[in-house]
Amino acid sequence: MTKTLTALLAGLLILTLGAAVAQGTRQPDMANLFQKVNRVALELQTNLTDLEASIQASRDSIEQGGRVLDGMLASVTRVQQSMAEDSEIWQELGALLELWEERRKATLERSEANPAFLPIAQAWQQRLETARTLRNQISTERANATALMRAIEADRDIVLAYYELGQADKAIEGLKKVGANLANLNRNMQVIVETANAAQQTPIPQ
């Protein structure tokens, strides 16, 4: 009985301390951040694949038009949430900026005694520049996604009212407008993916 209990409690202890150590030592990683950003962009791109066909197919059906709008709203909401201030992407980027800033400062200090560290400090600086661009791009797209979400929510009833009025062309026009904004968001997400990729590939001299 004592042995079983001891083994159980020891297991619990190892798990608890293991989790603490793992969380304490885990470092932010640009490759990981790139994967996350890429996943969001790919998901948006997939959602847009059949959008034009779906819009045309909804010509005679208010229910289908409503579903297309809901689908578009869900896509934008996912993009917005994945880049929100409490998102993994934003937090990881913040952690990376902090880590890189520390490394740049540390190598700059070491370059005081040994000038060979100077190009390394400059390489960290270059990485920080790219990360800064990424941060600005994500911040802007987060705002654009928020604006688009609000636009879809505000225009939803108007688009559906055109269906009820029998003016499918007007309803389709409204859906296409939202579709164009989504395509724009998609293009900007591709730019963000390119920046994230550039940030992970900036070499640091050894």
Where on the chain is the footprint of another protein (CB under 8 A)?
A: 1-2, 5-6, 9-10, 12-13, 16-17, 19-20, 23-24, 85-86, 90-91, 94-95, 97-98, 101, 105, 108-109, 111-112, 118, 125, 128-129, 131-132, 135-136, 139-140, 142-144, 146-148, 150-151, 154-155
Instruction: Give every CB contact of residue 156 below 8 A, 6+ residues apart in sequence.
Output: 66, 69, 73
CB-based contact 131:199 (threshold 8 Å): yes
User: Nearer to another protein by C-beta: 9 or 57?
Assistant: 9
H, E, C per residue of 140-198: HHHHHHHHHHHHHHHHHHHHHHHHHHCCHHHHHHHHHHHHHHHHHHHHHHHHHHHHHHH
DSSP 116: G
Cβ within 8 Å of residue 123, ≥6 positions away? 202, 203, 204, 205
Closest contact distance (angstroms) between CB of 32 and another protein is: 15
Report the nearest approach of another protein to the CB of residue 101 (Å): 6
Closest CB to another protein among 13 and 42?
13
139 contacts: CB under 8 Å, gap ≥ 6: none
From the list 92, 90, 84, the residue with the least C-alpha distance to 31 is 92
Q: Least CB distance from residue 104 to another protein, whole Å?
A: 8
Work out how close the CB of 95 gets to another protein at its nearest, in angstroms, rounded to a whole number: 5
Rg (CA), the chain: 24
Nearer to another protein, 29 or 101 (CB): 101
3-state secondary structure of 56: helix
CB of 65 to another protein, least distance (A): 19
Q: Residue 51 or 89: which CB sits closer to another protein? A: 89
CB 83, min distance to another protein, A: 11
CB nearer another protein, residue 60 or residue 187: 187
Q: Which is nearer to another protein, 24 or 205 (CB)?
A: 24
